[in-house]
Amino acid sequence: MRVILAVCATRRYFGMPKYYYYLGKHLKANGVDVSIVIDSPLGIPKLHEVCDIPVTVLQPEVRGSFTTLAFAQSLAKYLRTQEFDILHTCHVLPFWYLMEQHKPVVFQPFGNELFTLGGKGLNALYCKMAQPVLRYCGHNCEALAAEGDFQFDDMRRWYDNPRMYTIPIGIDTSVIPRTMKHNGALHILAVNSLYPYDGLDVLIEAFRYMNYVRESTLTIVGSGPCETELKRQARGLPISFQKQIPESALGQLYQWADVFVSTSRQTDIQMGILEAEAAGLPIVSVGQRWLVDGNGMVVDFTPSALMDGICKVASDDKARLGQRSIELVKPYDFKEVTKAALGVYEKVLA
């Protein structure tokens, strides 16, 4: 079986690119002939931190709505020249390829922000433009992949396709070290892309209040269009920003932290939460209730609620909460995710 994984936005090593890099690694370990198509050579070093598999870089590099569709055109043109069995891809990338005679496509939309978190200005315009394209992809693919049962109702509203399966977001638990016990300042960690709907401005405001209550530090890992604004908001506070860091350094940050915080308002699975749980961290989140069950708190999306939640979780038995996190993350290990993906592949090829 030969599978091509196609993904864009390789400037950010979170979310979709990272998922496909690790999926490629584990498909290869299961004997699949797998290759990856990306939009920028910047993704190659990050990919090869995970696994050395064939990579094709297509132009243009994705920077917005029009370059995304142009990259999708390049992908369709490239696929016409390739021998393969399945294309597994995301976002609007299969649009042009699905408009012609095609090999089976497994389409994984990821998230709901384009349908429910429309934003303002150009972001709102992009969401309106992308929604019919996403619906076309979801309707015409051979397999529509949701991240879990919690997503099925929304997916049925957005996409007209009965061929819906579950392929969870996954992590490689073997590469994430367990958290260390230490005393002193409270170390808070957030890992996400820096977009308006990820809500990190609210976390910074909560941290500003909390810094009067107890000694603490906040590390934010990610990149995106809100980076400059968030750094300006964080000026004068013990907040550090990290981006494009190696996997080993990211693992050390999980090991060093006391509490992981997610302020994303999307209803998809947050990879950062999964990685934090694999490290044995307690979680404070404004959503993702299926990932927070006896291992932390789900709180309202306000600075005061976040501050209270972080303080309460930090004062709880972090070892007990962390052990519960480790139990919750087991179904999302890539060994299980790869089994699910292979099962979907076999169905569409049957």
Q: Are residues 211 and 241 in the same domain?
A: yes
Structure tokens at 341: 């993906």
Length of the chain, in residues = 350
Q: Are residues 146 and 190 in the same domain?
A: no
Domain interval for residue 201: 173-330
pTM: 0.89
Q: Are residues 139 and 238 in the same domain?
A: no
Q: Are residues 136 and 163 in the same domain?
A: yes
d(CA 307, CA 266): 20
Number of folded domains in the chain? 2
Full pLDDT tens readout for the chain, 350 residues: 999 999 987 555 457 888 999 999 999 999 999 999 999 888 888 888 888 899 999 999 988 778 888 999 999 999 999 999 999 999 899 999 999 999 999 999 886 666 666 555 556 676 777 889 999 999 999 999 998 888 888 888 889 899 999 999 889 988 888 877 666 789 999 998 888 878 999 999 999 988 777 789 999 999 888 999 999 999 999 999 998 788 888 889 999 999 999 998 776 778 899 999 999 999 999 988 888 999 999 999 999 999 999 999 999 998 999 999 999 999 999 999 999 999 999 999 99
Q: Torsions phi, psi of 6, nearest 5? A: -120, 130
Range list of β-strands (E), 205-338: 216-221, 239-242, 259-262, 283-285, 296-298
CATH code at 162? 3.40.50.2000
